[in-house]
């Protein structure tokens, strides 16, 4: 009866496409804040294919709230109201969390004091991994018994019986959502406004401000001195209260913003450590195969400036090169290669009187890469990456800064299989290679993570630093 089709799921996530320049102020605000609140509305789920309320195809264009979303409407026609909710539940069940939901979940891991306030009832934030969250308007995945007041999970869709009943007491259930004319739970209100009052940063994502909650929270947060950043595809009632506005799709802007903020945070950490160490720094990035250590090393190098040397791990050294270096007999185990890269980097950085050319070989072709790096007395940073760097005490101790990059295993697997395929393997061969080689080392490598002073987690939301410092 409610014939709107889903615009298509949006679960996948790639490296952020740079859609707009995120201002330095916004990045600094994200990098520095400790107490953060995020307020989301229907716009964050739009790219998952769930219709918003007030836009061109919004639900309130086609349906009347007073017939479907008030306690009076439910009293008059519970069956019709439930039919409408069950249709919406079906849309939500088909939808996947999109990159914006995933970044919000990642932010929760980074900030020590964090609260997500969502007006959405679709359950997508929870499915993306958000936990420190208030679903201010309830959820279509719960029902409330009109007889005994119990709130119950309602996970099946479509529901077997409309209106559904509470098995325990036989009472009729209503959707556990907040309707027009109803008030928020006092405890929930208290929690939301306390978070607004103490927030240093508030991100307001994809809400028109058509109901008063986002405006009230933002007003409270502003009074408490918070920086307000709005992300919305157009201007909204919240816009005039925002210090910064990022106009566009939440699913594009949030990953880009998070990438910039995390990279900036990491660079600050590296620079701070370099200062402690008299300006020169040997950084090691370790972590399981497929985590993307090279990509992180290159991104850091690009941010740190022109005088950075990056030494990649052993795949870059072919036999001929090993021979030329007098190291032929040592090939074999992957850890030999890591050690080799390490030795070269140390030699280049510490022992060179004259600049040294570090041979870097392509992982794919085993040919030297054209921009072989120079290292010498003027090289302030050397970044070296390899699985086993934290495994050997002498290597671990020689590093000035130890970074451990961990990765969602499913993503690592996908990366590694794609890498084997780029090297010419069929899909089947690539999977076999992955099963044989790459997993072999994972446990040993993972055991070294505790030796790192900086840990990073990579998943569909990009890089997120695990912070242990600067609480408060």
* Binding-site ranges for ligand APR (CB under 6 A): 41-43, 46-47, 52-55, 58, 119, 137, 206-208, 210-211, 231-234, 236, 249-250
Helix axes 99-110, 250-276, angle to 10 degrees: 30
Residue 173 burial (CB count, 10 A): 24
Report the SS3 class of residue 60. Answer: helix
Tell me which of 79, 101, 125, 137 is the catalytic residue.
Answer: 137
Alpha-carbon torsion, ordered 350, 352, 357, 361, to 10 deg: -40
Task: Pick between residue 52 and residue 415 the one whose CB is nearest to ligand APR.
Answer: 52
Can you list the positions of beta strands (E) in 213-372? 227-232, 244-247, 281-286, 308-311, 356-358
CA distance linking residue 222 with residue 242, whole number of Å = 9
CB of 11 to ligand APR, least distance (A): 15
Task: Pick between residue 119 and residue 387 the one whose CB is nearest to ligand APR.
Answer: 119
Burial of 190 (0-12, 13-18, 19+ CB in 10 A): exposed
Can you list the positions of beta strands (E) in 90-167? 113-118, 133-135, 138-145, 151-153
Residues facing residue 204 across a β-bridge: 39, 230
Reported as type and span, the H/E element at residue 455 is: strand 454-459
CB of 356 to ligand APR, least distance (A): 50
CB of 119 to ligand APR, least distance (A): 4
Contact 113, 145 (CB under 8 A): no
Q: In the bound complex, which residue of the shown chain has the CB atom lying closest to ligand APR?
A: 43
CB of 216 to ligand APR, least distance (A): 13
CA distance linking residue 425 with residue 181, whole number of Å = 62
Task: Pick between residue 61 and residue 357 the one whose CB is nearest to ligand APR.
Answer: 61
Task: Pick between residue 240 and residue 357 the one whose CB is nearest to ligand APR.
Answer: 240
101 tagged catalytic: no
CB of 345 to ligand APR, least distance (A): 44
Task: Pick between residue 47 and residue 335 the one whose CB is nearest to ligand APR.
Answer: 47
List, by residue number, the catalytic residues: 137
């Amino acid at each position: 009866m409610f014939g709107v089709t889903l615009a298509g799921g949006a679960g996948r996530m790639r490296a952020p496409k740079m859609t707009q320049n995120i201002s330095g102020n916004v990045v600094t605000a994200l990098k520095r804040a400790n107490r953060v609140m995020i307020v989301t509305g229907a716009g964050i789920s739009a790219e998952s294919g769930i219709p918003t309320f007030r836009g061109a195809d919004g639900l309130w264009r086609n349906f009347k709230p007073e017939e479907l979303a008030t306690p009076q409407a439910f009293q008059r026609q519970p069956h019709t109201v439930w039919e409408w909710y069950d249709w919406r539940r079906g849309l939500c069940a088909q939808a996947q969390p999109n990159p914006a939901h995933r970044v919000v979940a990642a932010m929760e891991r980074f900030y020590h004091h964090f609260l997500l306030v969502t007006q959405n009832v679709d359950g997508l934030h929870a499915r993306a991994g958000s936990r420190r969250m208030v679903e201010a308007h309830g959820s279509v995945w719960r029902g409330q018994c009109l007889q005994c007041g119990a709130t119950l999970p309602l996970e099946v869709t479509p529901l077997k019986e409309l209106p559904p009943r509470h098995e325990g007491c036989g009472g009729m259930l209503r959707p556990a959502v907040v309707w027009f004319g109803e008030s928020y739970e006092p405890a929930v209100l208290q929690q939301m406004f306390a978070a607004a009052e103490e927030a240093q940063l508030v991100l307001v994502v994809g809400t028109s401000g058509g109901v008063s909650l986002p405006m009230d929270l933002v007003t409270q947060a502003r009074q408490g001195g918070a920086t307000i950043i709005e992300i919305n595809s157009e201007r909204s009632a919240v816009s005039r209260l925002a210090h910064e506005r990022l106009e566009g799709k939440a699913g594009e802007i949030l990953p880009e913003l998070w990438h910039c903020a995390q990279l900036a945070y990491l660079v600050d950490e590296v620079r701070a450590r370099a200062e402690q160490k008299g300006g020169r720094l040997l950084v090691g990035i370790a972590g399981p195969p497929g985590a993307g250590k090279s990509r992180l090393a290159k991104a850091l190098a690009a941010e740190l400036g022109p005088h950075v040397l990056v030494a990649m791990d052993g795949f870059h050294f072919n036999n001929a090169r090993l021979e030329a270096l007098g190291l032929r007999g040592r090939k074999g185990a992957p850890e030999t290669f890591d050690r080799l890269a390490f030795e070269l980097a140390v030699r280049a950085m510490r022992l060179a009187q004259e600049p040294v050319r570090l041979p870097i070989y392509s992982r794919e072709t085993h040919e030297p890469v054209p921009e072989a790096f120079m290292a010498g007395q003027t090289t302030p940073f050397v970044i070296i990456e390899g699985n086993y760097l934290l495994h050997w005490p002498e290597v671990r101790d020689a590093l000035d800064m130890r970074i451990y990059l961990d990765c969602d295993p499913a993503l690592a697997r996908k990366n590694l299989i794609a890498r084997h395929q780029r090297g010419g393997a069929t899909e089947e061969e690539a999977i076999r290679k992955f099963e044989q080689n790459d997993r072999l080392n994972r446990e040993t490598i993972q055991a070294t993570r505790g030796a790192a002073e900086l840990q990073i987690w990579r998943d569909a939301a990009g890089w997120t630093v695990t912070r242990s410092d600067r609480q408060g």
